[in-house]
Amino acid sequence: MKHFPTDITCMECNARAHSVFKKIGITEVEEIDSIKSCGHYKKGQFIFSERGNPMGLYCISSGKVKLVTTGENGKEQILRLLKDGDVVGYRSLISNDRYHCSAVALEDSTICFIPKQSFFNLLKSNAGVGFEIMQLLSENLKTAEQHIVSMAQKNVRERMAEALLFFKASYGLDPEDQSLNVAFSREEIADFVGTSTETAIRLLSEFNQDEIIQLQGKKISILNCDKLIRTANLDV
């Protein structure tokens, strides 16, 4: 892979501090650094595709990524949202499986690649990394199963409120104007909520009218978080 002036080393990567590699020794960091390659992805670009064969682990140094699958009808479903410090592709590697979803950059991103064998070597030599991955999978599983319950038991309005809260939890808010730090299209939001684009648009307009949120193009500001929680019918 080509080297860009924007390439960074693992030693100076800020994302590493809150990644699964936060506790590994300097020797191991240098070893990963020597073997990793750095990739630059434009918004909308695929990091890997559904049904592809995993060749290694991806590490988000900067940027945002969505994991999506395409259902039989061709409709997309967003499964997970990732940001800097997150690793991508571990599930398939550990299951020794093809990818069951695609990874797509939500904005211009710098994402490093660690070959499969190096990842497994690290897992063997460093039990801590293994446990971090285990914890990651456990959290992913919990989130997914909670999502199943929402899908099965909540109406679209409640799920839309949940989705906005999830976007907030995933990427945070701009302290300036309480706007989501991510710009999804209405279709992408619908793909997460599991509804039609039209219904998603309508609900967002409603929330806007009810002054729960404020819309300015793709920018969504959360005006009344409590009301959003109540709308989602959550007792957190």
Partner DNA sequence: ATGCAAAGATGATTTACATCATGTTTTAAC
Partner DNA sequence: GTTAAAACATGATGTAAATCATCTTTGCAT
Q: Pick from 40, 66, 157, 168: which binds DNA (CB under 7 A)?
A: 157
9: left (phi over 0), alpha (psi -120 to 50) or beta: beta
Burial of 230 by CB count in 10 Å (0-12 exposed, 13-18 middle, 19+ buried)?
A: middle
Burial of 70 by CB count in 10 Å (0-12 exposed, 13-18 middle, 19+ buried)?
A: middle
In the bound state with DNA, the residue whose beta carbon lies nearer, of 59 and 189, is 189
Q: Is 97 in the site for a copy of itself (CB under 8 A)?
A: yes
Q: Is 169 in the site for a copy of itself (CB under 8 A)?
A: no
CA atoms within 13 A on the CB side of 156: 16
- Minimum CB separation of residue 217 from DNA in Å reads 5
Handedness of CA 171, 172, 176, 177 (dihedral sign): positive
In the bound state with a copy of itself, the residue whose beta carbon lies nearer, of 144 and 169, is 144
Q: What count of other Cβ atoms lies within 10 Å of the Cβ of residue 83? A: 20
Site for DNA in 162-221 (CB under 7 A): 185-187, 194-196, 198-199, 201-202, 204-205, 215, 217-218
Q: Is 148 in the site for a copy of itself (CB under 8 A)?
A: yes
- List interacting residues with a copy of itself (CB under 8 A): 69, 71-73, 75, 77, 79, 90-92, 94-95, 97, 100-101, 123-124, 127, 130-131, 133-135, 137-142, 144-149, 151-154, 194, 233-235
